[in-house]
């Protein structure tokens, strides 16, 4: 095999991995994953890229899969962050946060994590 053919094969194989590395990822959250907290006033998520609030959502479910009624996800003072207010006190127990957003590349990403209320 010629050197140029080998180089093309290497580039072709690396391209999907390189593209995936540029998709938006969750960098941190409040409450943090697996954290035990008093009732939060808001759920706030930070990402590795700027997010579009109009293409973003945050959902919170109880351990029994009951959806917690929250407002719509909104932008914050940080262009890499979105938040949603928690308008009522949450009962003690485990909660699952599901999120969806799109970054600068327009690619939708989603994820989940849980936290507990003391």
Domain range spanning residue 92?
Answer: 24-117
Residue 112 placed within a domain: yes
Starting at the earlier edge strand, list the strands of the sheet with 67-68. Answer: 36-37, 108-117, 93-102, 57-62, 67-68
pLDDT tens, residue by residue, 9-63: 444 444 444 444 557 899 999 999 999 999 999 999 999 999 999 899 999 999 9
Residue 7 placed within a domain: no
pLDDT tens, residue by residue, 68-118: 999 899 999 999 999 999 999 999 999 999 999 986 667 899 999 999 999
Which residues, in sequence order, are bridge partners of residue 100? 57, 110
Which CATH number fits the domain that encloses residue 83? 2.60.40.1220
Residue that has been written with the tokens 């914050």 in this structure: 76
pTM: 0.80
User: Left (φ > 0), alpha (ψ -120 to 50) or beta: where does 47 sit?
Assistant: beta
Q: How many separate domains does the chain show?
A: 1
Residue 71 placed within a domain: yes
């Amino acid at each position: 095999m010629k050197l140029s053919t080998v180089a093309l094969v290497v580039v072709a194989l690396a391209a999907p991995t390189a593209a995936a590395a540029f998709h938006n990822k969750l960098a941190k959250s409040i409450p943090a994953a697996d954290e035990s907290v008093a009732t939060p006033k808001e759920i706030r998520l930070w990402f590795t890229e700027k997010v579009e609030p109009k293409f973003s959502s945050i959902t919170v479910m109880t351990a029994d899969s009951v959806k917690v009624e929250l407002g719509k996800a909104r932008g914050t003072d940080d262009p890499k962050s979105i938040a949603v207010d928690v308008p009522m006190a949450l009962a003690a127990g485990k909660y699952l946060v599901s999120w969806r957003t799109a970054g600068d590349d327009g690619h939708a990403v989603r994820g989940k994590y849980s936290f507990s209320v003391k």
